[in-house]
Amino acid sequence: MINDVYIQENLKYKIFGFLINLFLIFGLLCIPESDMIPKMPGWYDQLDLYLTIVLSIPLIWQTYMLFKKTGLKLNSQGIEENMSQMNVQRFSWNEIVSVKFMKILFLKYILIYITDPASYLKKQKFYRRIPMLSNYKKLGTPIKIPIHAIDKTPQEIANIITEFTNSMMTQQNQEKT
């Protein structure tokens, strides 16, 4: 039995985003009223309060996500990623053709090449299909997973994936004999 391997997202990126949002919310509440500025309409006087309420909604989500374990998971079924925080993507080893790493601008990504990208795109919701279609045209695969927030370097991740797949293949060969 092969143990699952979990490559966790770096917590400092989550905390940094959380603190920026917290700073914006409490900073907007602390804006002093100025006597030098002429009186504005009523809605404008309350603008900082409205912005605080609007920015509090993502803060609730960020608080939940701060304690949720996110990253890449390798198991006997395949690769599972929940870096996007909105939905979990699973790719079985049967679907995966190859895994490559690419740096686009200053961000690092894992590109997962699959056997039938067209049918994979058809299964996706419309709002997810548009960027995936763009990735497919530019990169040759619809699946691009950001790894710049993961604790490990791309080389370490590649070594982990290679080591995991090799141990899995060894175990499958032992089971056959």
- For 141, other C-beta atoms within 10 Å of its C-beta total 19
User: Under a CB-based contact definition with an 8 Å cutoff, are residues 95 and 80 in contact?
Assistant: no
Residues 84, 85, 91, 92, Cα dihedral to 10°: 160
| pLDDT tens-digit readout, 53-75 | 777 787 787 787 777 777 888 88
| pLDDT tens-digit readout, 61-115 | 778 777 777 788 888 888 888 876 567 788 888 888 888 888 888 888 889 899 9
pLDDT on residue 136: 92
Q: How far apart are CA 110 and CA 98, in angstroms?
A: 10
Phi and psi, residue 100, nearest 5°: -130, 160
Global pTM reads 0.71
